[in-house]
């Protein structure tokens, strides 16, 4: 190939690149259309090109849409990564301390129960006839079945509460089926529905 032919091709590519840029095409689009001219070459050729409002708006719109697509893709990737990390942490924790209720010593169960009551228990003093009661029921509010099973085991095995003295109160919102909710909690806590 002669040098003159190469220069004609370069001039032709440069004119094509200019035409595409004036239409509002990005360097990446021009690069794809013209068969891989380096972006650095396009930048040198097109650095001083003044775009029309229409072409400029097309580039801005394309940039906004590309940014939004990139952000959405990044968020999906981050979510997937967070889910994988969370599962890995849960699996590691399950291997390390899984089945703790089955093998916990009385002291470990005592510490667990006290910590659960400290975090989730009802501790506001009960006042009757102007006096604070020193003896009242111990209660805990939570919706995690495993946490509640742990607290029940603590109450029964460590504190000596007779299982028949255990009372469960369930909040049932209007959009829930009462029978289904009672069935779920009776099963989850291995307690009779009544």
**pLDDT in single tens digits along all 194 residues of the chain:** 455 545 566 778 888 888 888 888 888 888 888 887 888 888 888 888 888 888 888 888 888 888 888 899 999 999 999 999 999 998 898 888 777 777 888 999 999 999 999 999 888 888 889 898 877 788 889 999 989 999 999 999 999 999 888 888 889 999 999 999 999 999 999 888 77
Closest Cα partner for 152 from 181, 94, 160, 187?
160
- The answer to whether the beta carbons of residues 172 and 193 sit under 8 Å apart is no
68 & 116 share domain = no
The answer to whether position 88 is within a domain reads no
Helix (H, G, I), strand (E, B) or coil at 37: coil
Q: Which two tokens stand for residue 171?
A: 């909040």
Q: Is residue 86, in this structure, part of any structural domain at all?
A: no
Q: Are residues 122 and 183 in the same domain?
A: yes
Do 117 and 42 have their domain in common? Answer: no
Domain count, the chain: 2
E-strand ranges in 87-163 read: 127-128, 131-132
State the pLDDT at residue 5.
45
Q: Is the dihedral of CA 109, 115, 119, 124 positive or negative?
A: positive
* Token reading at 94: 């399950």
Look at the pTM and tell me if it is higher than 0.85: no
Is 42 part of any domain? yes
Q: Which domain range does residue 103 map to?
A: 99-188
Residue 89 maps to a domain: no
In a domain, 108, yes or no: yes
Structural contact between residues 120 and 147, judged by C-beta atoms closer than 8 angstroms: yes
- Helix 145-153 × helix 178-188 angle, to 10°: 50
Contact criterion met (CB below 8 Å) for 140 and 122: yes
Query: Which pLDDT does position 94 carry in this prediction?
Result: 81
Longest dimension (CA), the chain: 109
187 — alpha (psi -120 to 50), left (phi > 0) or beta? Answer: alpha
Determine the angle formed by the axes of helices 39-46 and 3-22, rounding to 10 degrees: 70
């Amino acid at each position: 190939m002669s040098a003159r032919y190469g220069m004609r091709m370069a001039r032709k590519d440069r004119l094509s690149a200019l035409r595409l840029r004036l239409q509002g095409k990005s360097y990446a689009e021009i690069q794809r259309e013209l068969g891989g001219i380096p972006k650095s070459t396009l930048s040198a050729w097109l650095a001083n090109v003044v775009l029309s409002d229409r072409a400029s708006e097309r580039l801005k719109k394309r940039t906004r849409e590309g940014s939004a697509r990139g952000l959405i893709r990044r968020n999906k990737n981050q979510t997937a990564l967070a889910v994988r990390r969370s599962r890995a942490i849960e699996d590691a924790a399950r291997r390390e301390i899984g089945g703790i209720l089955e093998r916990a010593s009385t002291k470990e169960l005592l510490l667990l129960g006290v910590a659960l009551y400290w975090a989730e228990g009802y501790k506001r003093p009960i006042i009757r006839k102007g006096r604070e009661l020193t003896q009242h029921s111990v209660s805990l509010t939570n919706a995690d079945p495993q946490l509640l099973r742990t607290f029940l085991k603590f109450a029964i095995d460590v504190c000596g509460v007779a299982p028949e003295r255990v009372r469960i109160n369930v909040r049932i919102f209007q959009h829930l089926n009462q029978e289904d909710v009672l069935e779920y909690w009776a099963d989850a806590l291995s307690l009779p529905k009544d």
